[in-house]
């Protein structure tokens, strides 16, 4: 098992791996996957005409499931995307914070942008090709309908050109937001030039409050949630966590069991706020994410969980899983929904999750090894060029 986990482990560009971060990624992607299992099973099936429904699935996941008390919680699983945004704020903010606070080297902007391009672009563009071919060859949609979405997504402007989610894949919108943040992160991280800790944190907190409060109003300007302005509060939450990590904890967070209680309180509070307080949730949830992450870094039990080799290894493959999990769920649905133990929703939903999860993890691991991990090496472009130059000439 250790050998397998080592083979599936991420390759970094030289920076020390913070295992808690990949462990947190595991729970973020888990939330998103469960949300889409629910969406594909319940929402899709409830819209199908009765003759086209799997009879077992229709009983267990049909319109009646929309009235289940658990529905509200499952429909908030999209929060995993915001958990990712906060993690991105932490990860990308950390090296700039080290530079400005005098605890690390100067960040080379050229290397920063080249790393984003060489690491993330190839898997993303490959997925676009896969999704486009699926729409053209499997769904038999005309090229004139599909290719504009492919081209817009390839240059990360789909959210601006088309004010609805990308039909190629429902998850691509958030990757455009991430790219907007990557571009502006060197500018946004200049907040760490404020030397006084309390003033710096006051600015970050004010930014979180401001953009959280304005998020509903953003729809008047941008009908899609796929802009950085809609989501900036969550990235700033990551900056705030990076501030704690560097200045309070000196990159070695002290642990105490009491901090686990903070996680146990913050996580249910997120769902309660989302379910009960509507627009106010945009203001409160970023702070609850910070609380949950602080408790995870500092708690005994939560830290041990996220640092478990299985957890952080799967979390390290989250980019691949995020790109392909909806497709996997859609392909698995006709097979897994043949199994229904009762007409009740909760038990059947749990069964579907249990059946799908290991398949999704295995398929993710295969795709990760083939289409993502090769691009994690910083020198892969140079290695590819060298290999092409040394290729023997064909026989005359």
Give the pLDDT score at 218: 73
Nearest to 235 by CA among 202, 266, 204: 204
Residue carrying structure tokens 């595991």: 26
DSSP 258: H
The pLDDT tens digits along the chain (396 residues) read 778 777 888 877 656 789 999 999 999 999 999 999 998 888 777 666 666 566 667 667 766 677 777 888 888 888 999 999 999 999 999 999 999 999 999 999 999 999 999 999 999 999 999 999 999 999 899 999 999 999 999 999 998 888 767 788 889 999 999 999 999 999 999 999 999 999 999 999 999 999 999 887 776 666 666 789 889 999 999 999 999 999 999 999 999 999 999 999 999 999 999 988 877 888 999 999 999 999 999 999 999 999 999 999 999 999 999 999 999 999 999 899 888 777 778 888 999 999 999 999 999 999 999 999 999 988 888 887 777 777 665 665
Task: Give 56-106 as a DSSP string.
Answer: HHHHHHSGGGGGSTTHHHHTTTTHHHHHHHHHHHHHHHHHHHHHHTTSSPP
DSSP 332-371: HHHHHTT--SSS-HHHHHHHHHHHHHHHHHHHHHHHIIII
Encode pLDDT of 352-365 as tens digits.
999 999 999 999 99
Handedness of CA 135, 139, 140, 146 (dihedral sign): negative
How many degrees, rounded to 5, is the angle at CA 16 between CA 15 and CA 21? 105
Task: Determine the pLDDT at residue 6.
Answer: 78
Task: Check: CB of residue 352 under 8 Å from CB of residue 336.
Answer: yes
Question: What residue has token string 């059946």?
Answer: 355
pLDDT for the residue 41: 85
Q: Tell me how far apart the terminal alpha carbons of the chain are, to the nearest angstrom.
A: 48
Q: Is 387 exposed, middle or buried (0-12, 13-18, 19+ CB in 10 A)?
A: exposed
CA-based R_g, the chain, Å: 22
Tens of pLDDT, residue by residue over 108-128, are 999 999 999 999 999 999 999
**Per-residue pLDDT at 20:** 96
Q: What integer pLDDT is reported at residue 15 of this predicted model? A: 64
């Amino acid at each position: 098992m250790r050998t397998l986990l080592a083979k599936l482990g991420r390759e970094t560009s030289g920076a020390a791996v913070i295992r808690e971060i990949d462990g947190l990624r595991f729970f973020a992607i888990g939330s998103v996957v469960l949300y889409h299992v629910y969406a594909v099973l319940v929402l899709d099936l409830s819209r199908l005409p009765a003759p086209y429904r799997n009879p077992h699935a229709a009983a267990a996941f049909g319109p009646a499931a929309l009235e289940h008390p658990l529905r509200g919680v499952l429909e908030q699983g999209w929060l995993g995307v915001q958990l990712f945004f906060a993690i991105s704020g932490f990860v990308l903010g950390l090296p700039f914070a080290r530079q400005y606070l005098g605890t690390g080297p100067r960040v080379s902007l050229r290397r920063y942008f080249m790393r984003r391009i060489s690491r993330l672009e190839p898997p993303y563009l490959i997925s676009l090709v896969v999704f486009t071919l699926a729409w053209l060859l499997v769904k038999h949609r005309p090229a004139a309908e599909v290719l504009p979405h492919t081209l817009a997504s390839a240059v990360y402007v789909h959210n601006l050109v088309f004010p609805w989610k990308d039909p190629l894949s429902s998850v691509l919108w958030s990757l455009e937001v991430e790219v907007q943040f990557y571009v502006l992160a060197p500018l946004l991280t200049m907040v760490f030039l404020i030397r006084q800790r309390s003033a710096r944190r006051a600015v970050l907190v004010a930014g979180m409050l401001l953009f959280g409060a304005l998020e509903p109003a953003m729809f008047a300007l941008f009908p899609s949630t796929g802009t950085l302005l809609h989501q900036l509060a969550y990235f700033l939450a990551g900056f705030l966590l990076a501030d704690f990590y560097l200045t309070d904890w000196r990159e070695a967070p002290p642990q105490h069991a009491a901090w686990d209680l903070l996680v146990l309180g913050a996580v249910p509070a997120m769902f309660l706020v989302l379910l009960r307080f509507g627009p106010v949730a945009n203001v409160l949830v970023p702070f609850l994410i910070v609380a949950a992450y602080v408790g995870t870094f500092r708690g005994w039990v939560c830290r041990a969980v996220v640092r478990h080799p299985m957890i952080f290894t799967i979390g390290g493959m989250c980019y691949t899983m995020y790109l392909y999990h909806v497709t996997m769920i859609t392909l698995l649905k006709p097979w897994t929904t043949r199994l229904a133990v009762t007409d009740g929703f909760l038990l059947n939903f749990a069964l579907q999750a249990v059946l799908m999860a290991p398949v999704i993890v295995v398929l993710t691991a295969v795709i990760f090894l083939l289409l993502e991990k090769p691009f994690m090496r910083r020198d892969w472009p140079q290695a590819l060029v060298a290999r092409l130059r040394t290729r023997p000439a064909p026989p005359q």
